[in-house]
């Protein structure tokens, strides 16, 4: 028994307290007296986590696309403790502290192009919010004050603050909070599996999808459009990689209309796709990168945006300030952890590890295509979605009731009980999402495949 193992009395007490007091995020809560257990995770080690009953799970989602370096990394914990003892907190409001300075310099050196300025936030939604505000402010200061609208893709998730939620393309998440910030416009995503046109021609599909962005810019008027927000690989809906040529064309369109290209890399940065930033994986240079999650491997909260030099120019040396900030933005402890995390990335060559193993991850997951319920296996690096269908040949998907029964009623729980923590998501068509810690190798891929295989087989018999 380790220190973090809990007795059965502690376990019961924790269940009661969780039920009575904890408001879990994006979660349905059981009615009081309702039998189901709330999973309580008490510790982690490498790619595994352990619950309060002592059971072990492979962390197939790196927590929430976050724990790149794996769990239980002593050196990241030490970095946090050392910084808390030295300078636990100081704001970066008109002041600096060494770790924020060092981290900004280091991220700028890693980023593509001239994205040399770092604005820290506390997480991803705040980073997206900041990017929209910066885009509006920048154009107001540079003689194009009407540029304020933003374009993003259907089903994409960009966070929960009101602005970021306006950019999010998931109507179900937005409805309870309407009216949101006006001026968000949606274009199709790059779901080629369900494309109505060019399904068999990825280049043509990429051109078609990119051109939808130009269509909206022209329809709305380029003088009113400030920015396009795109993930390198879109998460929500189940991992939509960009078709070949897509980002190249989007970049051209943005340049033609003086619209900022924001690469929302809250998931895709820090090795998830085998490169430090997702834009590098697909060879484009955005104007802004938003990041969070993996920058600290989740050992402390941090987010931010990396900004191209020209966007900072109006704020340099004059009287203008970006009237925006967060008490905990660039927190010293988080910045210290991020630096230690980047050291670890270098020492263990985590991006190289992903590049060396990504084909094996793909081919191991591809084996699941022999199951009739598996319609598509797609993704990149260590980031995959497995779309579930009723009929492989026709790609027929599940209706709402079936989805409810399959995902919420069975899959999530069955995968977890079988020892795999991951997510069955139905924000688009039903998918199982996978994004394991970057330290995983073939042994872990096999474990993921075997658990998925047996649970998906069982799911099929229940349909």
Ligand X SMILES: Cc1ncc(COP(=O)(O)O)c(C=O)c1O
Tokens 């619950």, residue?
A: 51
Contacts of ligand X in 35-74 (CB under 6 A): none
Least distance in Å: CB of 286 to ligand X?
13
Residue 187: how many other CB atoms lie within 10 Å: 21
Please report, for residues 32, 145, 344, 391, 421, the alpha-carbon distance to residue 339 in angstroms, rounded to integers and kept in the order given: 44, 38, 9, 48, 28
Complex with ligand X: residue 124 or 274, whichever CB lies closer = 124
Q: Is 190 a residue that touches ligand X (CB under 6 A)?
A: no
Q: Which segment (54-62, 152-160, 363-371, 418-426) binds ligand X by CB under 6 A?
A: 152-160
Q: Which segment (117-125, 278-286, 344-352, 426-434) binds ligand X by CB under 6 A?
A: 117-125
Complex with ligand X: residue 231 or 429, whichever CB lies closer = 231
220: burial class by Cβ within 10 Å (0-12, 13-18, 19+)? middle
184-187 and 115-121 strand pairing? unpaired
With CB atoms as reference, the residue minimizing the distance to ligand X is 124
**Given candidates 264, 387, 425, 426, which one binds ligand X under the rule CB under 6 A?**
264
Secondary structure (H, E, C), 313-326? HHHCCCCCCCCCCC
Helix (H) or strand (E) holding 227: strand 225-230
Tokens 């709402």, residue?
A: 400
Please tell me the distance from the alpha carbon of residue 422 to that of residue 283, in angstroms, as a whole number. Answer: 29
306: burial class by Cβ within 10 Å (0-12, 13-18, 19+)? buried
Complex with ligand X: residue 274 or 301, whichever CB lies closer = 301
Please tell me the distance from the alpha carbon of residue 450 to that of residue 131, in angstroms, as a whole number. Answer: 41
Q: Is 128 a residue that touches ligand X (CB under 6 A)?
A: yes
Q: What is the C-alpha end-to-end distance of the chain, expressed in Å? A: 41
Least distance in Å: CB of 38 to ligand X?
20
The β-bridge partners of 153 are 187
Please tell me the distance from the alpha carbon of residue 61 to that of residue 64, in angstroms, as a whole number. Answer: 6
Q: Is 159 a residue that touches ligand X (CB under 6 A)?
A: yes
**Given candidates 63, 123, 379, 430, which one binds ligand X under the rule CB under 6 A?**
123
Please tell me the distance from the alpha carbon of residue 158 to that of residue 8, in angstroms, as a whole number. Answer: 39
Q: Is 431 a residue that touches ligand X (CB under 6 A)?
A: no
Q: Is 266 a residue that touches ligand X (CB under 6 A)?
A: yes
Q: Is 157 a residue that touches ligand X (CB under 6 A)?
A: yes
Residues 77-116 vs ligand X: string with x where CB under 6 A? ----------------------------------------
Please tell me the distance from the alpha carbon of residue 160 to that of residue 236, in angstroms, as a whole number. Answer: 14
**Given candidates 47, 60, 63, 125, which one binds ligand X under the rule CB under 6 A?**
125
How many residues form the binding site for ligand X (CB under 6 A)?
Answer: 14
Q: Is 452 a residue that touches ligand X (CB under 6 A)?
A: no
Q: Which segment (260-268, 271-279, 320-328, 391-399) binds ligand X by CB under 6 A?
A: 260-268
Complex with ligand X: residue 266 or 386, whichever CB lies closer = 266
Least distance in Å: CB of 125 to ligand X?
3
Contacts of ligand X in 283-302 (CB under 6 A): 292
Please tell me the distance from the alpha carbon of residue 198 to that of residue 180, in angstroms, as a whole number. Answer: 34
Least distance in Å: CB of 461 to ligand X?
33
Least distance in Å: CB of 56 to ligand X?
25
**Given candidates 231, 287, 376, 425, which one binds ligand X under the rule CB under 6 A?**
231
Please tell me the distance from the alpha carbon of residue 101 to that of residue 237, in angstroms, as a whole number. Answer: 37
Number of H helices, E strands in the chain: 16, 15
By the criterion CB under 6 A, which residues form the site for ligand X?
A: 123-125, 128, 157-159, 231, 235, 264, 266-267, 292, 303
């Amino acid at each position: 028994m380790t220190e973090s193992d809990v007795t059965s009395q502690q376990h019961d007490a924790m269940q009661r307290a969780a039920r009575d007091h904890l408001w879990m995020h994006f979660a349905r809560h059981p009615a009081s007296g309702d039998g189901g257990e709330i999973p309580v995770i008490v510790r982690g080690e490498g790619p595994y986590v352990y619950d309060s009953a002592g059971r072990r799970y492979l962390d197939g989602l790196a927590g929430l696309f976050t724990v790149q370096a794996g769990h239980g990394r002593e050196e990241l914990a030490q970095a946090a403790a050392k910084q808390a003892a030295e300078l636990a907190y100081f704001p970066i409001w008109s002041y600096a502290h060494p770790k924020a300075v060092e981290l900004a310099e280091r991220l700028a050196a890693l980023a593509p192009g001239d994205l040399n300025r770092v604005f820290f936030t506390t997480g991803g939604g705040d980073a997206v919010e900041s990017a929209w505000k910066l885009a509006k402010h920048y154009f107001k200061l540079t003689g194009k004050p009407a540029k304020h609208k933003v374009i993003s893709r259907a089903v994409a998730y960009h966070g929960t603050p009101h602005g970021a939620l306006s950019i999010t393309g998931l109507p179900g998440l937005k409805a309870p909070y309407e009216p949101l910030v006006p001026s968000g416009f949606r274009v199709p995503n790059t779901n080629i599996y369900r494309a109505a046109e060019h399904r068999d021609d990825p280049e043509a599909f990429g051109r078609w999808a990119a051109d939808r962005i130009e269509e909206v810019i022209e329809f709305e008027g380029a003088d009113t459009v400030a920015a396009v927000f795109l993930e390198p690989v879109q998460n929500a809906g189940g991992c939509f990689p960009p078709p070949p040529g897509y980002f190249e064309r989007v970049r051209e369109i943005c340049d033609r209309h003086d619209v900022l290209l924001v690469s929302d890399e809250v998931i895709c940065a820090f090795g998830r796709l085998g490169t430090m930033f997702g834009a590098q994986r697909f060879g484009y240079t955005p104007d802004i990168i938003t990041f969070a999650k993996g920058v600290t491997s989740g050992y402390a909260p941090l987010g931010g945006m990396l900004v191209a030099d020209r966007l900072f120019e109006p704020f340099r040396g004059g009287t203008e300030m970006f009237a925006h900030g967060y008490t905990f933005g660039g927190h010293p402890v988080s910045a210290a952890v991020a630096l230690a995390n980047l050291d670890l990335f270098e020492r263990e060559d985590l991006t190289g590890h992903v590049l060396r193993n990504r084909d094996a991850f793909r081919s191991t997951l591809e084996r699941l295509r022999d199951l009739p319920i598996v319609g598509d296996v797609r993704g990149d690096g260590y980031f995959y979605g497995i779309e579930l269908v009723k009929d492989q040949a026709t790609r027929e998907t599940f209706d709402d009731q079936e989805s409810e029964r399959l995902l919420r009623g069975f899959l999530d729980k069955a995968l977890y009980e079988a020892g795999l923590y991951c997510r069955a998501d139905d924000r688009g068509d039903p998918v199982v999402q996978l994004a394991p810690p970057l330290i995983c190798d073939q042994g872990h891929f096999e474990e993921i495949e075997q658990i998925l295989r047996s649970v998906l087989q069982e799911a099929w018999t229940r349909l």
